[in-house]
Amino acid sequence: QITMSLNSSTLSNEENTQGAKRNTECLGSLLQTPSSFQDNPLQQLQLASQEVLEKAKKSGRSKCPRCNSSRMFYCYTCFVPVETVPTKDIPTVKLPLKIDIIKHPNETDGKSTAVHAKLLAPDDVTIYKYPCIPEYEEKKHEIALIFPGPNSVSVKDIAVHLQKYSKKGVCASDDDCSREPLLKQAKIEPKEEKNPNEGISSSRSEGTRLKKIIFIDSTWNQTNKIITDERLQGLLQIELKTRKTCFWRHQKGKPDTYLSTIEAIYYFLVDYHQEILKESYKGQYDNLLFFFSFMHTLVKDAKCCAGKE
């Protein structure tokens, strides 16, 4: 995540009162009519109707149904839509595996896109605030961590590396291993040669043993405290190297391949669907960017109106 505020990224502190008023009026007029998507890199997404968000934006902030705080679109502490955004109008996405998001304690809740994942895939996403995170030691053979580093691998190589984890064994005791039939199966696997087709099938099977993905939600300068935690050591690390961020709070001086949390989740799942599940992608996870794409358009329109582009 990157930490520039929406206001600071769209309105300069040096603007005079008249300029700020002009920008506000311009943004208001843009919200009255459909925005131009000709330069929007997210325009190809297959999204549910965002009319509910357009209406909510026009009506302004609303109350969280749980804590009664005033919010726009959703409550980032309760992980629920506000009163002007009915839950029935928010799409739900089913994921092929579970996701844990570890949030840095100093990460500003209102600036994080991690909440988008919880809102849109509530059954498959869990958010933890560091240092209160699970123990992953006994499940290393079915968990991976999304984080760039010297030992990180690409999504397409997950199968090969999970196979290594299985063969090494990661159980704390014999009793633990007895509950992992996949590990025992690896030890008694016959040595006879297999044909190439069986090898491909086996590789895919290894990849689908992945049960959970971990994402770190923090500024890039804050990640060191979390990534060095002993509970995350030894996990398979995956890096998404071919995607570029569309995040409006992207931190200066960092590569454009450093993604916001919701982008990282989305792009990982697209790659996983194609590279590991070996299925054609037809927009199954596009709605994970339901809120992100809408906010991206608002910010882009505001910048354009303010003469920043």
**Worst-scoring range by mean pLDDT, 40-49, 177-186, 252-261?**
177-186
Rg for the chain (alpha carbons), in Å? 22
Q: What residues does each domain of the chain span?
A: 45-90, 96-163+208-308
Distance between CA atoms of residues 141 and 210, nearest Å? 8
Q: Look up residue 87 and give its two tokens.
A: 């839950």
Looking at residue 253, what is its pLDDT?
Answer: 58
**What pLDDT is recorded for position 247?**
62
CA 19, 20, 22: angle at the middle one, nearest 5?
65
Token pair belonging to 37: 């998507």
Contact 147, 216 (CB under 8 A): yes
Q: What is the pLDDT of residues 62-119, one digit of tens each?
A: 999 999 999 999 999 999 999 999 999 999 999 999 999 999 998 888 888 999 999 9
Joined together, the tokens standing for residue 121 give 């895939």
CA–CA separation, 95 and 195 (whole Å): 32
Buried/exposed 83-96: b ≥16 CB within 10 Å, e otherwise: ebbeeeebeebebb
- Predicted confidence at residue 256, as pLDDT, reads 63
Measure the CA–CA gap between 148 and 241, rounded to whole angstroms.
8
Name which of 212, 100, 197, 206 is nearest 157 in CA terms: 206
Given pLDDT bands bounded at 50, 70 and 90, which one contains residue 224? confident
Give the residue among 205, 193, 223 at the shortest CA–CA distance from 166. 205
Run of H or E including 74: strand 74-75
pLDDT category of residue 205 using cuts at 50, 70 and 90: low
User: What pLDDT, in 10s, does the model give residues 37-46?
Assistant: 334 557 789 9
Task: Give the CA-trace dihedral at 84, 87, 89, 94, to 10 degrees.
Answer: 150
* Cα–Cα distance for residue pair 289/295, rounded to 1 Å: 10
pLDDT of residue 257 exceeding 90:
no
Average pLDDT, the chain: 76
Question: In degrees to the nearest 10, what's the CA dihedral of 153, 154, 159, 162?
Answer: 30
User: Ramachandran region of residue 213, left (φ > 0), alpha (ψ -120 to 50) or beta?
Assistant: beta
Helix (H, G, I), strand (E, B) or coil at 125: strand
Mean pLDDT within 35-57: 77
Residue 302, pLDDT score:
72
- Name the pLDDT band for 177 (thresholds 50, 70, 90): very low
pLDDT level of residue 120 (50, 70, 90 thresholds): very high
Angle at 290 between CA 288 and CA 295, to 5 degrees: 125
